[in-house]
């Protein structure tokens, strides 16, 4: 049973399109995150939600909009995709704020052409 699952695993789309990535965790955790991993493997946090409330919003273009319908789900919607958005996006969850341990999904490889 997958703890943190993301869909889709691969996403290829054209510039200017709008796309969404979905994430679900079945660990009962309160906090969920989105991270972006670039081509050099560098990981940077984008957003964090705690019990459906946005608590971290790093410097991310407002074309990126997270949505948390409940504490088990955190989706990422991206408008007007650009070439530079190509990356691997990871969803993660942890039991509480402060991050004792984060569990990661398998990642979504987004390619914008």
Partner 1 sequence: GDSVTQMEGPVTLSEEAFLTINCTYTATGYPSLFWYVQYPGEGLQLLLKATKADDKGSNKGFEATYRKETTSFHLEKGSVQVSDSAVYFCALSGKAAGNKLTFGGGTRVLVKP
Residue ranges that bind partner 1, judged by CB under 8 A: 4, 31, 33, 40-45, 48, 55-56, 90, 92, 97-107
| 7 secondary structure, DSSP code | E
Nearest distance in Å: CB 16, partner 1: 29
Nearer to partner 1, 44 or 63 (CB): 44
| 3 state SS of 106 | coil
Nearest distance in Å: CB 9, partner 1: 9
R_g over Cα of the chain: 13
Q: How, if at all, do strands 31-37 and 87-94 pair?
A: antiparallel
Nearer to partner 1, 78 or 89 (CB): 89
Nearer to partner 1, 70 or 101 (CB): 101
Question: Maximum CA pair distance of the chain?
Answer: 38
């Amino acid at each position: 049973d997958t703890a943190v699952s993301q869909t889709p695993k691969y996403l290829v789309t054209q510039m200017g399109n709008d796309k969404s990535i979905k994430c679900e965790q079945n660990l009962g955790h309160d906090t969920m995150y989105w991270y972006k991993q670039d081509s050099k493997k560098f990981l940077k946090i984008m957003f964090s939600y705690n019990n459906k409330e946005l608590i971290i919003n790093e410097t991310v273009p407002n074309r990126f909009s997270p949505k948390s319908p409940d504490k088990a789900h955190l989706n990422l919607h991206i408008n007007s995709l650009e070439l530079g958005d190509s990356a691997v996006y990871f969803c993660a969850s942890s039991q509480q704020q402060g991050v004792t341990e984060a569990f990661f999904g398998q990642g979504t490889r987004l390619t914008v052409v």
